[in-house]
Amino acid sequence: MNLSAIIVDDELPGRENLVAIISSYFNNIEIVDQANSIDSAYIKINEKKPDFIFLDMELGYGTGFDLIDMFENPGFEVIFVTAYHDYAAKAFRTIASDYLLKPIDVEDLRKAIEKVTERIDYKRIKENQGFDQAPGADFIKLTGSDGQEMIPVDEIVYLQSLNYYTSVVLKNKRKILTTRHLKDYEEMLRKYDFYRIHNSYIINIKHLKGVTTKNELSAWMVDDIKISISRRRKDEFYKFIESKDKNVTEF
Give residue-wise pLDDT tens across range 170-210.
988 889 998 888 888 888 887 888 999 999 999 999 999 88
Residue 250 lies in a domain: no
| pLDDT at 134 (0 to 100) | 42
Examine the pLDDT at 130 and tell me if it is beyond 80.
no
Task: Give the pLDDT score at 31.
Answer: 97
Whether 126 has a pLDDT exceeding 90, the answer reads: no
103 and 198 share one domain: no
d(CA 247, CA 82): 50
Say if residue 103 is preceded by a cis peptide, omega within 30 of 0: yes
Inform me whether the pLDDT recorded for 150 exceeds 60. yes
Query: Could you tell me how many residues make up the chain?
Result: 251
In a domain, residue 207? The reply is yes
Co-location of 115 and 171 in the same domain: no
% the chain with pLDDT above 70: 89
Q: What is the pLDDT of residue 136?
A: 45
The pLDDT value recorded for residue 131 is 43
pLDDT of residue 234: 86
With respect to residue 26, please indicate whether it lies within any of the assigned structural domains.
Answer: yes
56-58-64-70 Cα dihedral, nearest 10 degrees: -130
- 102, 82 contact by CB (below 8 A): yes
- Top-confidence residue, 138 or 18: 18
- Residue 112: inside a domain: yes
What pLDDT band is residue 149 in, cutting at 50, 70 and 90?
Answer: confident
- Where residue 63 sits, what CATH number does that domain have? 3.40.50.2300
**In this predicted structure, what is the pLDDT of residue 129?**
41
Cα gap 167→156, rounded to integer Å: 11
- 82-99 average pLDDT score: 85
User: Number of folded domains in the chain?
Assistant: 2
Residue 224's pLDDT is 87
Q: Domain limits at 84?
A: 3-127
pTM over 0.85: no
pLDDT of res. 210: 87
Q: DSSP letter string over 3-60?
A: EEEEEE-S-HHHHHHHHHHHHHH-TTEEEEEEESSHHHHHHHHHHH--SEEEE-SEET
Domain assignment present for 248: no
Among left, alpha and beta (phi > 0; psi -120 to 50; other), residue 4 is: beta
Distance between CA atoms of residues 205 and 52, nearest Å: 35
Please identify, among 110, 127, 144, the residue that sits at the C-terminal boundary of a domain. 127
Residue 241 or 161, more confident = 161
- pLDDT in the model for residue 246: 63
Residue 112 sits in the same domain as residue 184: no
What per-residue confidence (pLDDT) applies to 250?
61
